[in-house]
Amino acid sequence: MKSANLRTLNGNMKFTTIIPLLGLFAAASSLAEMRDAATHEQLVLSYRKASQEDPARKMTPTKGPDPLLVNPPKDLIGDSDILCFNGMATLVPKRAVLQIPKNMAGRLKYVPGAKLLSWADFYAVNRGWITTMEVSRVQAEGNSPLGEVALKQMSKNANLIVATYQAGPISVLPLKVPAEKAGEKAGEKATTVENISRGPKS
């Protein structure tokens, strides 16, 4: 009997000891959760602090003209010439066509229904009537004249001639003439694109 009573007593003591321990663990866990959970006031203060430290709030609008007004979007069609022939068409920059034979003037107009091709594809199937002339960057900018050899070749060529830079069509601006030399060249026949754009003489 004594042994049984002792075992029962020991069991009760263990049980009564475990219950308070479980209560302590639960209280500690609840306290940790309460500490981790931010209150509404803390969230408001954190948001205000982040807003005050936001560098975007310190940025001021840039002064000056509207970039869209200074550099308006370019009109691709308006800045290009159209080459069209045999149901195919392509676009080249304006002033890229250096020579237009009279019998080919109609090929600079779009024909409804023509398929638009890239320059490379269009030129590949129209080499018979198009000749390309490679120019340098400074020549395209009008800072250097076309070479005499190139001009002679153009005068003898009956094809439509397109200026290219690294195999791609490029505009060739009129040759820039310094103001002090303008008087000297007055009345002279200048070797510019404007003088050679209508093909060889008959």
Cα 31 to Cα 54: distance, rounded to the nearest angstrom = 34
Give the pLDDT confidence of 29-50 residue by residue, as tens digits: 554 444 455 566 666 676 666 6
Mean pLDDT for 135-150 is: 93
Q: Pick the residue with more confidence: 196 or 115?
A: 115
**What are 150's two structure tokens?**
């190139």
Cα 97 to Cα 46: distance, rounded to the nearest angstrom = 66
Give the pLDDT confidence of 94-111 residue by residue, as tens digits: 999 999 999 999 999 999
| The pLDDT of residue 11 is above 80 | no
Q: Which of 1-5, 34-38, 60-64 has the lowest mean pLDDT?
A: 1-5
Cα 81 to Cα 90: distance, rounded to the nearest angstrom = 8
Instruction: Confirm if 88 and 123 have CB atoms less than 8 A apart.
Output: no
Cα dist. 71→22, 64, 65 in Å? 75, 13, 10
Give the predicted TM-score (pTM) of the model: 0.55
Closest CA to 151 of 190, 113, 123: 190
Sign (positive or negative) of CA dihedral 114, 118, 122, 125: negative
First and final C-alpha spacing in the chain = 140
Phi first, then psi: what are they for 131, rounded to 5°? -120, 135
Model pLDDT, residue 176 = 87
79 band by pLDDT with thresholds 50, 70 and 90: confident
197 band by pLDDT with thresholds 50, 70 and 90: very low
89 band by pLDDT with thresholds 50, 70 and 90: very high
- pLDDT above 90 covers a percentage of the chain that reads 44
Model pLDDT, residue 83 = 97
Instruction: Confirm if 114 and 87 have CB atoms less than 8 A apart.
Output: yes
Instruction: Confirm if 99 and 198 have CB atoms less than 8 A apart.
Output: yes
| The pLDDT of residue 146 is above 80 | yes
70 band by pLDDT with thresholds 50, 70 and 90: low
| The pLDDT of residue 66 is above 70 | no
